[in-house]
Structure 1
Amino acid sequence: MFTRVQDVAALIGRIGVAVVFLAHGLDKWEMGVGGTTDMMSATGIPLPTLSALFVIAVEVIGSILFIVGLALPLVGLGYAITGLGAVFFVHADAGLTGQGGYELVLVLALAGLALGCNGGRLSLDYLVLGRRKAAGTQDAELQAA
Structure 2
Amino acid sequence: MFGRFKDVALLLGRIGVAVVFLAHGLQKWNNGIDGTAKFFSMTGIPLPTVAAVFAMTVEILGSIAFIVGFLMPLVGIGYVVISVGALLSVHIDNGLTGQGGYELVLVLALAGLALGFNGGRLSLDHLLWGRKRARREAEASELQNA
Bin for the TM-score computed over the shorter chain: over 0.9
Matched, 1:129 2:110: no
Give CA-to-partner distance per residue, 1:75-128, whole Å, 9 cap, x none. 000001111110111100111111111111111011000100100011110111
What residue is the counterpart of 2:34 in the other structure?
Answer: 34
Paired with 2:138 and 2:108, the residues of 1 have a C-alpha distance of 36
Q: When the two structures are aligned, how many residues end up with a matched partner? A: 145
CA RMSD after TM alignment: 0.9
Task: Tell me which stretches of 4 or more aligned residues in structure 1 moved more than 3 Å.
Answer: none
What residue is the counterpart of 2:5 in the other structure?
Answer: 5
Paired with 1:142 and 1:128, the residues of 2 have a C-alpha distance of 23
Q: How far did 1:42 drift?
A: 0.4
What residue is the counterpart of 1:113 in the other structure?
Answer: 113
Paired with 2:43 and 2:12, the residues of 1 have a C-alpha distance of 33
What is the correspondence of 1:1-145 to structure 2 with a 5 Å cutoff? 1-144=1-144, 145=146
Paired with 1:28 and 1:134, the residues of 2 have a C-alpha distance of 40
Q: How far did 1:143 drift?
A: 3.4
Scaled by the length of structure 2, the TM-score of the pair is 0.96
Identity %: 63
Scaled by the length of structure 1, the TM-score of the pair is 0.97
Unmatched tracts of structure 1, length 5 or more: none
Paired with 2:120 and 2:134, the residues of 1 have a C-alpha distance of 14
